[in-house]
Chains A and B, each alone.
Chain A
Amino acid sequence: GAVVSQHPSRVICKSGTSVKIECRSLDFQATTMFWYRQFPKQSLMLMATSNEGSKATYEQGVEKDKFLINHASLTLSTLTVTSAHPEDSSFYICSAGGQGGQGHNGQFFGPGTRLTVL
C-alpha cells in the first residue's frame, strides 16, 4: 500500500511555457500533500503544503503565483509551474500524507518529475 504516482516523469519545455505536474495517491486518501524541489546533489526543499479543498501554504521564498498548487480531491494534487524559466529546471517530488502499510502513518513520495526548461 501507500503508492504515490507522478505524471509526467520527465518534461522538457521552452522558456515561458507553463507545465502541470500531477500527483496521485493510488491506494489511500491523502488529506495533505507536499511539493518538494530537489537540485542535483542537494536535499529536498519543501515548497508548499496543500490540504484538500483549501489553499496551499507556501514556504518562505516560494512564489505562489509562479507555482500554482491545486488539491481538488483526496487523491490528486497538481503543481503548475507558470512561465517556466531555465532556473526552474529541477526535480520536483510530491508526497502524500496518509496511512501506509502495517498501519503506519507516513509521508509517501512519488517518483518525481524532472523538469528541464530550455
Chain B
Amino acid sequence: QKEVEQDPGPLSVPEGAIVSLNCTYSNSAFQYFMWYRQYSRKGPELLMYTYSSGNKEDGRFTAQVDKSSKYISLFIRDSQPSDSATYLCAMSPTGFQKLVFGTGTRLLVSP
C-alpha cells in the first residue's frame, strides 16, 4: 500500500464547475499537507499548505484536512480552462522536508 493514494484521473469538468480533488494517506505522523499544481513539462507550483486538521481558503481554492479519516481535499470553485493541470498532494511529518507525493490527478476544464 502506498503512503499516499490519489486518483490519477483524468477528471473532466465544464467551465464554472466546482472541482473536488482528494488524497488519502496511511501515515498518521503526517502533519503538513500541501497541494501543488503542475502544468505539462513544468515543475510543480505550490498552491496551498495546511498544518494539522482544518480548512484553509485562498481565492477560489479551499484545502481541507481531516486527520481522523486521513483524508485531504482541494476544492476549486468556478473552475477555468486555465486550471487544467495535474494536481499533486504532498505531505510530511516535519514541514517541508522530505515530502511524500501522491501520483497526481489530471484535471481537464473544458470551455
Please tell me the number of chain B residues within 8 Å of chain A, measured between CB atoms. 20
Residue of A nearest to B95 (CB): A105
Are the CB atoms of B101 and A44 closer together than 8 Å?
yes
Residue of B36, B43, B101 touching A112 (CB-CB under 8 A): B43
Are the CB atoms of B43 and A111 closer together than 8 Å?
yes
Q: How far is the CA of A104 from the CA of B44 in the complex (A)?
A: 17
Q: How far is the CA of A108 from the CA of B96 in the complex (A)?
A: 10
A58 close to chain B: CB less than 8 A = no
Please tell me the number of chain A residues within 8 Å of chain B, measured between CB atoms. 25
Contact with B along A89-118 (1 / 0, CB 8 A): 001010101001000111111111010000
Are the CB atoms of B96 and A109 closer together than 8 Å?
no
Q: Which of B6, B36, B44, B49 lies at the interface centre, i.e. has the most chain A CB atoms within 10 A of its CB?
A: B44
Are the CB atoms of B96 and A93 closer together than 8 Å?
no
Q: How far is the CA of A112 from the CA of B46 in the complex (A)?
A: 15
B69 close to chain A: CB less than 8 A = no
Are the CB atoms of A105 and B96 closer together than 8 Å?
yes
B21 close to chain A: CB less than 8 A = no
Are the CB atoms of B88 and A106 closer together than 8 Å?
no
Are the CB atoms of B102 and A91 closer together than 8 Å?
no
- Minimum-distance CB pairs A-B, first 5: A109-B43, A107-B96, A43-B103, A43-B101, A111-B43
Residues of A within 8 A of B (CB): 4, 6, 32, 34, 41-44, 46, 49, 91, 93, 95, 97, 100, 104-112, 114
> What are 8 A-B pairs with beta-carbon distances under 8 A?
A42-B103, A43-B6, A43-B88, A43-B104, A46-B99, A106-B49, A109-B46, A112-B42
